[in-house]
Amino acid sequence: MKISNPVLPGFDADPSMIRVGDTYYIANSTFEWWPGVRLHESKDLVHWRLLPSPLDRVSQLDMRGTVSGGGIWAPDLSYADGMFWLVYTDVTIVNGAFKDGTNYLVTAPHIEGPWSEPTRLNGVGFDASLFHDDDGRKYLVQQTWDFREYHHAFDGITLTEFDPESRTLMPQTARRIWRGTDVKVVEGPHLYRRNGYYYLFAAEGGTQYEHQESVARSTTLEADSFEVMPNNPLISNFDTPDSYLQKQGHGALVDTPGGEWYYASLCARPWRHDTEPSHGVRGWCTLGRETSIQKVGWDEGGWPFIVGGRGGSRYVQAPRDAVRTDVPQGNSGHDEFNDPVLDRNWNTLRVPFGAEMGHVGGGRLTLRGQGSLCNRHDLSLVARRWQAFTFDAQVKLDFEPHNYMQMAGLTNYYNDLCWSWVFVTWNEKTRRRVIEVAQNDFNAYTSYLRDDAVPIPDDVSSVWLQTCVRTDRYSYRYSFDGIHWRQIGVGLDAAILSDDHVAQRYGGFFTGAFVGMACVDLSGYAASASFESFDYRERDDGRSPSPATGER
């Protein structure tokens, strides 16, 4: 079998990978999206099954009002003493000198739970991981944030001993174990033991095109005791602009039962407009930061290296002892909304789906109108990740607005600053329902149809809405019978929904594009919209691989 990278396509960043017996697990960041932390499992590193999220109740994670790009940063999954341990950071500020964040710990006897209520650890820095040493002692390893303007903000890697009995840290043991290299921006640390050494894997260079994973080692855990790997970085694409995978770094190391080694890292697949030079513009990553897996070897000096070169490979040989994992193929999906709970592929923003937002079951998803798509407190939006460069998504909508402040439709969404949608609303001049297309680009709001908004005939009760995404451009269509479709003459630049576009003006550029359904009622009367038969269908454009993932 071959690993086809990315193994987790579409916004699955900051992977923390472990093995328990013959099963591998990956935990990924979710930031402001609910539920918190994505979990996948596999027995072959090729096919991955989506598991229930461990943070599924507000008592574990309360993100109402959290800024975009805040929320869950770089969770760390580990297994020791017969249970799973999950450390995660909840960040509330992303711009400016401060990165206010709190690190928490939850545990579970099984990967699917039940997961405990959180234990508060500290706020020293984000990207915290828990290291279980061979002698039974435990340590929290974390990036250290320095808000002072006369210091570099990334102040090395701090290690603090953790008391598992009281589940508290011992602040008096805290010490910096590694400053990082001159590349700077050291974060995402993980510690491992091998052949008498402590190996520290950490990301550097920021999480864009200069991103890399660096390695250092020491025979002790004393302060500033780690030496840098001579041939750093372990993995990076800063000098491979033509590679299929970009931005690789920030990940985790795992060994197989047969003694092979693999490294899971975040990655991205940028595209460029036809008018942009191949090396002048690194590209636009609408699918966000994804997860790739590379094979690792060890040289005579005991240092790790990426098999095939530090730029990584699109296709990688699976472990010799892999046990094939049977999961549904591909990422296309259809939902008739028959179940009384949302499918695992669906996400909401900051808070769980509940009565304030609407209800699901019996063949429909009903959304109750709340705030605008810019709202960070009360928003009725249900969406799923873009997982391919080209796809069509459509849904049937029943909605009876009574004023122009009531809107419901299909959205392509990055964050509260950058999104667009096709929606049904009310035109007070013609006194009838209409279809409009609008875009929000860093709060520059544009209504594209205005007086030419598409009128909905009075005898039409249902409207079908569709988006057609074609790598660098996307558009919207509508139908009054679900069979005959009409194109809306508005072509939108997909780059606006990319990490790279958002990063130009905002610090929280860590997620990726989503497609989904939303209902807004700014007049405050909670008008409801009914959605039926959502369909997400990927198209093969010859560029995007179709990894075998088992999301359900």
* Structural contact between residues 547 and 389, judged by C-beta atoms closer than 8 angstroms: no
H-run or E-run covering 141 = strand 138-145
Contacts of 524 (CB under 8 A, 6+ apart): none
H-run or E-run covering 502 = helix 499-503
Per the prediction, the chain carries an average pLDDT of: 96
**pLDDT tens-place string over residues 52-75:** 999 999 999 999 999 999 999 999
Instruction: Provide, rounded to the nearest whole percent, the portion of the chain with pLDDT above 70.
Output: 97
In this predicted structure, the answer to whether residue 551 has a pLDDT above a threshold of 70 is no
**pLDDT tens-place string over residues 107-155:** 999 999 999 999 999 999 999 999 999 999 999 999 999 999 999 999 9
Q: Which two tokens stand for residue 128?
A: 């915290």
Distance separating alpha carbons of residues 216 and 326, to the nearest angstrom:
37
Distance separating alpha carbons of residues 286 and 94, to the nearest angstrom:
20
Q: Which residue has the tokens 């080692």?
A: 217
Interstrand relation of 197-204 and 212-218 (parallel, antiparallel or unpaired)? antiparallel
Q: Indicate the burial class of 444 (C-beta count within 10 angstroms; 0-12, 13-18, 19 or more).
A: exposed
The predicted model gives 504-511 an average pLDDT of 95
Determine the pLDDT at residue 548.
37
Q: Which residue has the tokens 């009360």?
A: 378
Instruction: Provide, rounded to the nearest whole percent, the portion of the chain with pLDDT above 90.
Output: 95
* Fold entry, domain 333-550: Jelly Rolls (2.60.120)
CATH superfamily of 2-317: Glycosyl hydrolase domain; family 43 (2.115.10.20)
Determine the pLDDT at residue 550.
37
Q: Which two tokens stand for residue 521?
A: 């009622």
**Domain residue ranges of the chain, discontinuous segments joined by +:** 2-317, 333-550
- Give the N- to C-terminal CA distance of the chain in Å, as an integer: 23
Q: Does a cis peptide bond (omega within 30 degrees of 0) precede residue 257?
A: no
Determine the pLDDT at residue 332.
75
H-run or E-run covering 421 = strand 418-427
Distance separating alpha carbons of residues 468 and 36, to the nearest angstrom:
29
Q: Which two tokens stand for residue 331?
A: 């990422």
Determine the pLDDT at residue 331.
66
**pLDDT tens-place string over residues 518-536:** 999 999 999 999 999 999 9
Taking Cα atoms as reference points, which of 15, 21, 162 lies closest to residue 77? 15
Q: Does a cis peptide bond (omega within 30 degrees of 0) precede residue 6?
A: yes
Determine the pLDDT at residue 542.
56
Distance separating alpha carbons of residues 128 and 73, to the nearest angstrom:
9
Q: What is the pTM of this model?
A: 0.96
* Structural contact between residues 245 and 314, judged by C-beta atoms closer than 8 angstroms: yes
Taking Cα atoms as reference points, which of 312, 227, 311 lies closest to residue 7? 312
Distance separating alpha carbons of residues 121 and 98, to the nearest angstrom:
19
Determine the pLDDT at residue 329.
67
Q: How confident is the model at residue 278 (pLDDT cuts 50, 70, 90)?
A: confident
- Residues designated as active site: 14, 187
Determine the pLDDT at residue 479.
98
Taking Cα atoms as reference points, which of 310, 331, 184, 292 lies closest to residue 239? 310
